[in-house]
């Protein structure tokens, strides 16, 4: 873990069990000058958050992963990280995928464009924190 590079925007913790999705989202976020921490599952996200010395402004997490699901990740991170915001993502386009999303939470369906992701991130960062 290193401190964010000078000139980078907020720090985002990206949690998704699909490496290909993480790679694309990571590329989009880094092009937008965000400092991105990457986790392949919920347990890794908690370890990274515990070890990261700086602020984490936003967690972007897949809803359905082996082990901890997205909602559980956010519920455990919120007390550790005051001011945290969350954006849930899922490849399940039907409404049933939203059953695990907390009421009023920010949600983005996969697949999404780089512009859709960037817009969602900006909106969430300007909105209220979950904790």
Q: Indicate the number of domains in the chain.
A: 1
CATH of the domain at 100: 3.40.50.2300
pLDDT at position 20: 94
What does residue 75 show for φ and ψ, rounded to 5 degrees?
A: -60, -35
Domain ranges, residue 70? 11-126
Does 48 reside within a domain? yes
Q: Is residue 5 part of a domain?
A: no
Q: How far is the C-alpha of 5 from the C-alpha of 83, rounded, in Å?
A: 21
The residues, any chain, with a CB within 8 Å of residue 120's CB and separated by 6 or more, are 87, 106, 108, 112
Q: Specify if 4 maps to a domain.
A: no
Instruction: Enter the pTM of the model.
Output: 0.88
Residue 59 lies in a domain: yes
Separation between Cα atoms, residue 52 and residue 50, nearest integer Å: 6
Q: Each residue's pLDDT tens digit in the chain (131 positions)?
A: 444 444 568 999 999 999 999 999 999 999 999 999 999 999 999 999 999 999 999 999 998 888 998 889 999 999 999 999 999 998 765 545 555 666 668 889 888 999 999 999 999 999 988 86
- Where b means 16+ CB within 10 Å and e means fewer, 47-60 reads ebbeebeeebbbbb
Q: Is residue 2 part of a domain?
A: no
Q: Which pLDDT does position 1 carry in this prediction?
A: 44
pLDDT, position 101: 67
pLDDT at 124: 95
Residue 117, in any domain of the structure: yes
Residue 131 lies in a domain: no
Q: 38, 14 in Cβ contact below 8 A? A: yes
Half-sphere exposure for 98 (CA within 13 Å, toward CB): 10
Other CB atoms within 10 A of residue 94 CB? 8
Residue 118 CB coordination number (10 Å): 16
Q: What is the pLDDT of residue 93?
A: 56
Residue 66 is assigned to a structural domain of this protein: yes
């Amino acid at each position: 873990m290193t401190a964010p590079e000078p000139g980078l925007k907020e720090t985002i913790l990206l949690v998704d069990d699909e490496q290909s999705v993480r790679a694309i989202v990571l590329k989009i976020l880094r092009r937008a000058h965000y400092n991105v921490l990457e986790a392949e599952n919920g347990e890794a996200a908690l370890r990274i958050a515990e070890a990261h010395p700086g602020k984490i402004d936003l967690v972007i997490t897949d809803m359905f992963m082996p082990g901890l699901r997205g909602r559980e990740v956010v519920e455990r991170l919120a007390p550790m990280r005051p001011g945290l915001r969350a954006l849930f993502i899922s490849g399940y386009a039907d409404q049933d995928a939203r059953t695990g999303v907390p009421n009023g939470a920010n949600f983005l369906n996969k697949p999404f464009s780089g512009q859709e992701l960037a817009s969602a991130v900006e909106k969430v960062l300007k909105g209220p924190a979950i904790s």
